Structure 1
Amino acid sequence: MIQYNLQQKFFLLLLALVTLAFIYILLPYSGAIFWGVVLAILFSSLHRRILRETKHKPTLAALITLLLIIVMVILPLSLITASLVKQAAAVYEMINSGQINFGAYFLSIMKALPQWMVNLLERFELTDLASLQQKLSEGAAQVSQTVARQAIAIGSKTFDFLVGLFVMLYLLFFLLRDGQSLATRIKHAFPLGSKYKQRLFNNFTTVIRATVKGNVLVAMAQGALGGLIFWFLGVEGPLLWAVVMAFLSLLPAVGAAIVWAPVAIYFLVTGAIWQGVVLIAFGVIVIGLVDNVLRPLLVGKDTKMPDYLVLLSTIGGMALFGLNGFVIGPVIAALFLACWDLFVSTEEFQLH
């Protein structure tokens, strides 16, 4: 067992304190730092290719890679966000003006339902239109207040967002340029054998690449397909619903069906049979196929995690860390499995 003298103990305490203080300083921009690291890992292979093409000029290669990331990722996201805000505002105005009337939709559904289902809903007091309209009005008022508060918050936090974006891009440049040497230093600092460190670090980078690329590609595909079928069927705000479906697609197994399934049911009970049948067929066969085929290939195969663990870690991660959790959750789960696998399979870690 290692014995430390007073000087060594004091230094270890000082090291722990300054490390915690440094982490505390970085907390306000933890999201920007996190996504800077994630993007550096995702585009590391592209950067290495550009580095070879530029005859190993690290600064030039990092700058070219950064510009490509801005063109391929940042600008498209900015354009989609601007269009989304515009369409969300239009849908919100239609709700306020009465063009979208939930009371009328409710009446249409009630008229189309069979009597036994109406009786069942009456038993649970779910057929009172006046009560429903009051609840919807109260909900609309709350939504209005929330939207107003969020609009003010977004306006007041624009500067913080721009600073965070600058921090992410600035850090990303240096991670691309100096990432290899920084990773080597971090590995060297870990008090583990080289083969264990290599295994854990490889697992970490593999899970990040698989989770982000896999989940984002699945979400983009499902969102685009869902928005396309909504546009074809004449549903209001197809871009808005496409983004909602893309976001929900980050949750394995359930995902986009949370959006398209209620719309399909509404079509069926209101007499729009062919629209409902088309939406159900498209949702199950096309949108569902994307989730059932692409996600296991892109996420589960590389992470070597079962689907149920990917689902639980994704939901848990998003509950704790917000949107960042769809990456953080599976990474923690994969590292948990890797650490326990090392503990069980390695002789020197066993207790005798």
Structure 2
Amino acid sequence: MQQEKLEYRFFILSLVMVTLLFGYLLQSFFGVIFWSSVIGIMFHPLYSKLNSAFGSKPNLAAMTTLLICCVMVIVPTLLIVGSFFQEGARLYQKLDSGELDPGSYIEQIKSSFPIVQEFLGRFGIDLDNLKSRLAEGAIAGSRFLAENAVQLGQGTMAFFLQVGVFLYLSYFLLRDGPQIIAILIRALPLGDEREHLLFRKFSEVTRATIKGNLVVAAVQGFLGGLIFWFLGLPSPLLWGVVMTLLSLVPVVGAAIIWAPVALYLLASGSWTDGIILIAFGAGVIGLVDNLLRPVLVGRDTALPDYLVLLSTLGGFAMFGMSGFVMGPLVAALFLSFWEIFIREFNPSFDPHHLDAEKELEEWQGEDSKARDE
């Protein structure tokens, strides 16, 4: 008996150590594995339909689905990213040569609208300090884009390796995704019901985040770049991509780009362009979120707005660009684990019928009675 316990404990210890070692081995590909899983989740309904149409030929269905995914998502994304870095390189050249001076734009707004300086001063924001920081940030950011544009143009081996692994892994996750999930459910010692709930939550939040955040942000960025191009503003593709990235962050949005530009246009005397940009930004770009998100997300699980904001910002800080999906996903799994805990260890508790004021009054009454005693 003692020998069996020792063997069991040593096996569990070995299992944990080998698992950690394998995770460490794959740490360079965590991003690739995650986004391959996202592709498997997002395109699995299409794979299932194609597999049925082809008469249960999973290899052909997975390959066709992956080709459609490449045409719809991967190739356009790579082209946009390449153009984005090239425009960033040109912007850096203009900033470095002095052809563009971000500080002059701030100075123009400051002289034309003194009320802006007074308003920002109430929040402790100094326009002169902001001008210097803006210039430094613009040069540093454009320099980063210029350096990466060179690397992207040279086509580094690491980049092609990542893309190759991504496509290869996506193919197998499309084809074997349900079997992998079944194996994980069988292997994990959490209980089948809990595991089904967690995997379902993972899929729901991933779909909701991609459809409700990425697609909406892409549409807002496209519209922002389109209006910049229509008004003849410089680097419309660059600023369109920047607005897309900022639209992924709740509360911030694309307005942090187009609003100051509109203010500068008004300050420089381009009243017509400034008014058009304000009207388009507020009336079209700003309404995209309210119009598209309910249609795209549907009945998928949604997190509270404040939790989406905190988890998205935390996700960016911890996981980089993948954080806009990983952050809300971690938050959703956190809520799911606590939901399971509450349901199993306090089954009488129903948060949907909780009267907070009544609970507070009862707690205050019990607390007062305890002090009197």
Q: TM-score range by the shorter chain?
A: 0.7 to 0.9
Q: After superposition, where does 1:67-146 map in structure 2 within 5 Å?
A: 67-114=67-114, 117=117, 126=127, 146=144
Query: For residues 342 and 120 of structure 2, what CA distance do their matches in structure 1 show?
Result: 55
User: Corresponding residue for 1:250?
Assistant: 248
Write the letter of the residue equivalent to 2:242.
Answer: V
User: Corresponding residue for 1:319?
Assistant: 317
Query: For residues 56 and 179 of structure 1, what CA distance do their matches in structure 2 show?
Result: 15
Q: After superposition, where does 1:1-352 map in structure 2 within 5 Å?
A: 5-114=5-114, 117=117, 126=127, 146=144, 150=148, 158-295=156-293, 298-299=296-297, 301-347=299-345
Change (3 A) 1:336 1:296: farther
State the Cα distance separating 1:56 from its structure 2 match: 0.5
State the Cα distance separating 1:13 from its structure 2 match: 0.4
Number of residue pairs aligned between Structure 1 and Structure 2: 344
Three-state SS of the structure 1 residue aligned to 2:248 is coil
State the Cα distance separating 1:90 from its structure 2 match: 2.8
State the Cα distance separating 1:101 from its structure 2 match: 3.2
Change (3 A) 1:164 1:118: same
Query: For residues 142 and 117 of structure 2, what CA distance do their matches in structure 1 show?
Result: 33
Change (3 A) 1:118 1:61: closer
Query: For residues 126 and 301 of structure 2, what CA distance do their matches in structure 1 show?
Result: 47
Query: For residues 116 and 179 of structure 1, what CA distance do their matches in structure 2 show?
Result: 55
Change (3 A) 1:126 1:334: closer
Give TM-score, length-normalised by structure 1: 0.87
Change (3 A) 1:274 1:171: same
Query: For residues 311 and 137 of structure 1, what CA distance do their matches in structure 2 show?
Result: 28
State the Cα distance separating 1:80 from its structure 2 match: 1.3
State the Cα distance separating 1:89 from its structure 2 match: 2.6
State the Cα distance separating 1:53 from its structure 2 match: 0.8
Query: For residues 190 and 322 of structure 2, what CA distance do their matches in structure 1 show?
Result: 28
State the Cα distance separating 1:127 from its structure 2 match: 5.4
Change (3 A) 1:177 1:146: closer
Q: Is the 8 A contact 1:231 1:238 kept in 2?
A: yes
Change (3 A) 1:217 1:152: closer
Stretches of structure 2 lacking an aligned partner (at least 5 in a row): 349-373
Three-state SS of the structure 2 residue aligned to 1:303 is coil
Query: For residues 116 and 66 of structure 1, what CA distance do their matches in structure 2 show?
Result: 51
Query: For residues 300 and 323 of structure 2, what CA distance do their matches in structure 1 show?
Result: 19
Change (3 A) 1:108 1:48: same
Query: For residues 283 and 126 of structure 1, what CA distance do their matches in structure 2 show?
Result: 24
Higher mean alpha-carbon deviation, 56-65 vs 151-160, is at 151-160
Q: Is the 8 A contact 2:92 2:143 kept in 1?
A: no
Higher mean alpha-carbon deviation, 92-101 vs 210-219, is at 92-101
Change (3 A) 1:64 1:126: closer
Query: For residues 256 and 141 of structure 1, what CA distance do their matches in structure 2 show?
Result: 21
Stretches of structure 1 lacking an aligned partner (at least 5 in a row): none
Write the letter of the residue equivalent to 1:16.
Answer: V
Q: Is the 8 A contact 1:215 1:299 kept in 2?
A: no
Query: For residues 120 and 71 of structure 2, what CA distance do their matches in structure 1 show?
Result: 55
Higher mean alpha-carbon deviation, 16-25 vs 144-153, is at 144-153
Q: Deviations over 1:199-229 (max 9, x none)?
A: 1211111111111122111111100110111
Write the letter of the residue equivalent to 2:220.
Answer: Q
Query: For residues 277 and 230 of structure 1, what CA distance do their matches in structure 2 show?
Result: 13
| Identity across matched positions, percent | 48
Q: Deviations over 1:60-101 (max 9, x none)?
A: 111111111111111111221222233223333333344323
Higher mean alpha-carbon deviation, 293-302 vs 249-258, is at 293-302
Change (3 A) 1:274 1:152: closer
Change (3 A) 1:40 1:136: closer
State the Cα distance separating 1:304 from its structure 2 match: 3.0
Higher mean alpha-carbon deviation, 262-271 vs 190-199, is at 190-199
Q: Is the 8 A contact 1:253 1:291 kept in 2?
A: no
Change (3 A) 1:103 1:58: closer
Query: For residues 285 and 324 of structure 1, what CA distance do their matches in structure 2 show?
Result: 30
Change (3 A) 1:107 1:138: closer
Change (3 A) 1:314 1:25: same
Change (3 A) 1:16 1:10: same
Q: Deviations over 1:244-289 (max 9, x none)?
A: 0011111122211111111111112222222222212211221111
Q: Is the 8 A contact 1:203 1:334 kept in 2?
A: yes
